[in-house]
Amino acid sequence: MASGRVHAWVSFFGAFAIGIAWGKLTGDWGGAGVAFLGCWPSGVVLTPDLDTAEQKTIEAERIGGRVWQGYWWPYSKLVKHRAAFSHAPILGTAGRLFYLALPVLVASWLTGNWGWWATLPDWIRQGVWSAVIGLSFSDIMHWLFDGCPL
């Protein structure tokens, strides 16, 4: 099991890999930059280790502070550390993004306004997907460096 610091460095170097690969494959260097940022620092702040109750040990706590730590406290109590829901590639990423988006989802539900996503400019919607790909790449590396727990 890698430490939070090792995971952070892996995300940092991985961000260059995903950014360069994205740019070379698509020619979209703006999207490549967003994928880079999705992998690092987002991969550090939205680490799969948000599932641990011992959040003082994680890199995200140092960056995000007590508000971020408090937001994720219920998640850390609900999700078992290194469980598939938090650490599995794709599923873990989707689970944390769902938890992160809960306030927006609740607000959409309360107001009955689910169409706000379609009203956003294309570059924002495309940027979100680029960031999600970068974050997914960071999470896959996190999972590998944790020894592929499931």
Nearer to Zn ion, 31 or 139 (CB): 139
- By the rule CB under 5 A, 146 interacts with Zn ion: yes
Q: Which two tokens stand for residue 16?
A: 């260059």
CB of 94 to Zn ion, least distance (A): 16
CB of 82 to Zn ion, least distance (A): 6
Which of 49, 59, 61, 139 is close enough to bind Zn ion by CB under 5 A?
A: 49
Nearer to Zn ion, 15 or 32 (CB): 15
Size of the site for Zn ion (CB under 5 A): 3
Q: Which two tokens stand for residue 24?
A: 């070379």
Instruction: Report the distance separating Cα 21 and Cα 108, nearest Å.
Output: 35
Instruction: Report the distance separating Cα 70 and Cα 62, nearest Å.
Output: 13
CB of 142 to Zn ion, least distance (A): 6
Per-residue burial over 90-104, b = 16 or more CB atoms within 10 Å of its CB, e = otherwise: eebbebbeebeeeee
**Helical (H) or strand (E) element with 2:** none
Note the residues at the interface with Zn ion (CB under 5 A).
Answer: 48-49, 146
